[in-house]
Structure 1
Amino acid sequence: MDTVTKRPPKWLIIFAYLMVYIIWGSTYLAIRFSVETIPPLLSGGIRFLAAGAILLAVRLFQTRELPTVRGWKLAFCASLLPFAVTYGLITTAELVVPSSIAGIIMAAEPLWFCLIGWLFFNGRKPLPHHYVGLVLGFVGICVLVAGDPNVELSFESKYTLWMLLLLLSTLTWVVGAFISANPHIHSDTLTASGMQMLCGGAVMMASQYAFSLFTGNYPQFHAFSARSAMALVFLVFLGSLVAYTSFLWLMRVEPANRVATHAFVNPVVAVLLGWLIGGEALHMNTIIALPLVIASVILLVREKPEKNS
């Protein structure tokens, strides 16, 4: 006889969604605050080293399943794109680009998940409404970039360059996400995630000190502001531990397309917090691009309903 799996309490599911919706959407502003006085690679390195160490320690205490040497090698390789490269670009870009703009650009991830998954990772072929979503997402990003008053059509403009690098980071995150799903890293998903965060954070820290060695400009810890430090604590405990583990848990107990709705809630939260708390201006291009990107994500995460047998 099949055993009936007990569904988690509704309040717990709602709480997990709120953590993913609100906290992940607020991380863009937290990143902007953290890099005000903390070097970007150091900020990201501390964030993922601390979060990875905590998550890994908790899971190893619970499971008693130690990672293998092969698992660590795979975790290191899998951590490079989604953590070291992607967050290295995001944290550095937010020295120049407002957090609200970064949040909208990062909402392009489902576009890449749809295309990259189909073309290179044996994913499902896009349905007609997915193509509409792809077009809307592309148009939304173009409106955001072309209509931003700070953008200059020149690669000499740091602002324009970092906006394009933010768009590149959405691609590196998606490719890295497919690679990091390797089941040979560790049988426990949370342990594997902790290993990858730890490796990614170590690479970011090493990159920061290699850069400092080259330039002679070392981080001055006494110069870090209280706001930057508090933002970094928020990113470690809420952004990387609470929200991320809530996301992984939801992926086990809820339909994937429903969990994916965070992708069109997060940019709304990022824009509102950037405006209300961060003092960021709401330009017309942002107001036009936001609904286009949200509509794109809704179409991209929507699956064709299965026929009843």
Structure 2
Amino acid sequence: MSSPRNPVLVILAFFSIYVIWGSTYLLNKIAVTELPPFMLASIRFTTAGILIFILCKFLGLNLKITRKQFLNTVIAGFLFLTFGNGVVVWALRYVDSGFAALEISAQPLIVLVLMRILDGKKIKAMSMVGVVLGIIGIYLLVSQKQVISQENSVLGMGMIFLCLISWAYGSLFVGRANLPTNYFVNTGYQMFTAGILLLLASVLFGETWSSPLEWSSPTQYSMLLLILFGSIIAFTSFNYLLKVVSPEKVATSTYVNPIIALILGWHFLEEQITTQSIIAATVLLTGVYFINTKKTFLIFSRFRTNQETNL
């Protein structure tokens, strides 16, 4: 909290973590309708990683890390970005962007449950209420006939849930791992190595690559926005806010992102917002609110910092 607080920068930073992060679901949905998912994610994170390295050099930051730190960044990058993000992009072919954002908003719930299973951490009464509400909200969300009836939607929902587990385990991993102390350097290595792993996955699954010059204008703009705004500006804004405002205020992005994603998906892609989706969102986000106690959020924010948060 020692960093100088500029009211204009604070407002712009909140706009970034609210609107930009919330819009990444729409941008990924637009791009994945034309591009193979692992290729899309690979280009995004490899490019963003390289740009962050260039920024680090410009800022005079030392990019040298130990072998152990490099290995840990590869593991974290895989958990958060290669699997955690790449598979979500793959699932967006079968699931609406707003629906995916709502399911992903259950991140704190999964983190809390996994902490209980792996570390034996007791769940506080307030957080237990959040877990129960979260489970109810997820059930209401995934049990809709309009959703289940879509082709491969159940597969898409199931894969997103596996991504939540990957993110949750990753959040516990980075809490113990020896990682580069500078968050720019740390994120640069995670993004770049995750992008390379996604490249290998793309080759393994036989995806056909194409030149950006061959993409449609919406896809080109979406990729550009994902790299510059979703992967760099919003991430920097998040870390800035953690220094100048309370963690609880930064945590409000957990509640706002799905709403932004739902509205953008409805407006630009004509995705349907059902009454049950609204009820599920209310119940689920209320559960996330109960879970996001100050102590829990400190763990969650460390996870978000290393994950670059949201898509």
Using the size of structure 2 for normalisation, the TM-score is: 0.87
Is 1:147 the equivalent of 2:144? yes
Q: 1:36-75 counterparts in 2 under 5 A?
A: 36-70=33-67, 71-75=69-73
User: Which residue is 2:252 aligned to?
Assistant: 261
Give yes or no for the alignment of 1:83 onto 2:81: yes
The list of structure 1 runs, each at least 4 consecutive aligned residues, that deviate by more than 4 angstroms after superposition, is none
Task: Indicate the SS of the match to 1:149.
Answer: helix
Equivalent-residue separation in structure 2 for 1:39 and 1:106 (angstroms): 21
Contact 1:261–1:301 at 8 Å: present in 2 too?
Answer: no
Given the superposition, is the C-alpha separation of residues 137 and 242 from structure 1 closer, same or farther in structure 2, using an over 3 Å criterion? same
Query: In structure 1, what is the Cα distance between the partners aligned to 2:285 and 2:16?
Result: 19
Q: Distance in 1 between matches of 2:230 and 2:34?
A: 19
Spell out, residue by residue over 1:110-144, the C-alpha distance to the aligned partner (whole angstroms, 9 max, x if none): 11222223543586x43212111111111111011
Aligned residue number for residue 5 of structure 1 = 2
Q: Percent identity?
A: 27
Three-state SS of the structure 1 residue aligned to 2:90 is: helix
Aligned residue in 1 for 2:179: 185
Distance 1:178 1:247, change over 3 A: farther
Sort the Cα spacing of 1:183 and 1:23 in 2 relative to 1 into closer, same or farther, 3 A: same
Query: 2:32 aligns to what?
Result: 35
Kindly indicate whether residue 197 of structure 2 is the aligned counterpart of residue 206 of structure 1.
no
Indicate the SS of the match to 2:5: coil
The alignment partner of 2:181 has SS state of: coil
**CA distances 1:213-234 after superposition (whole Å, capped 9, x unpaired):** xxxx522436532211211111
3-state DSSP of counterpart to 2:59: helix
Q: Which runs of 5+ in 2 are unaligned?
A: 296-311
Note closer, same or farther for the CA distance 1:6–1:237 as it changes in structure 2 (3 Å cut): closer
Structure 1 CA distance for aligned equivalents of residues 227 and 120 of structure 2: 34
CA distance in 1, matches of 2:34, 2:55: 31
Amino acid of the residue matched to residue 76 of structure 2?
Answer: A
Query: Distance in 1 between the 2:185 and 2:149 partners?
Result: 44
By how many angstroms is 1:83 displaced?
A: 0.6
- 1:67 positional shift: 2.1
User: What is the alpha-carbon distance in structure 2 between the residues aligned to residue 245 and residue 161 of structure 1?
Assistant: 34
Matched, 1:275 2:275: no
Amino acid at match of 2:255: F
State whether residues 55 and 194 of structure 1, in contact with CA within 8 Å, keep that contact through their aligned partners in structure 2. yes
RMSD: 2.2
2:111 and 2:171 in contact (8 A); partners too: no
Structure 1 residue ranges without an equivalent (≥5): 305-309
> Number of residues paired by the alignment?
293
Following TM superposition, by how much is the alpha carbon of 1:78 offset from its aligned partner in structure 2, in angstroms?
1.8
For the 8 Å contact 2:36–2:208, the answer to whether it is kept is no
Task: Output one character per residue of 1:47-103: Cα deviation in whole Å (capped at 9) or x when no partner.
Answer: 100111111221233234132241322211221110100112110000110101001
Q: Distance in 2 between matches of 1:195 and 1:121?
A: 28
In structure 1, what is the Cα distance between the partners aligned to 2:63 and 2:214? 39
Confirm or deny that 1:284 pairs with 2:275. Answer: yes
> For the pair shown, which has the larger CA radius of gyration, 1 or 2?
1
User: Where does residue 293 of structure 2 map in the other structure?
Assistant: 302
**Matched residue type, 2:159:** L
1:122/1:150 CA distance change after superposition, 3 Å: closer
Conserved? CA contact 1:79–1:180, under 8 Å: no
Which residue is 1:219 aligned to? 209
Give the TM-score normalised by the residue count of structure 1. Answer: 0.88
Question: Mean alpha-carbon deviation: is it higher for 182-191 or for 243-252?
Answer: 182-191
What are the residue-to-residue correspondences of 1:100-115 with 2, within 5 Å? 100-115=98-113
User: Deviations along 1:1-58, whole A, 9 cap, x unmatched?
Assistant: xxx9354122222221110011111110110001011110000001100111111221
- Tell me by how many angstroms 1:284 deviates: 2.4
User: In structure 1, how many angstroms separate the alpha carbons of the residues matched to 2:209 and 2:63?
Assistant: 34
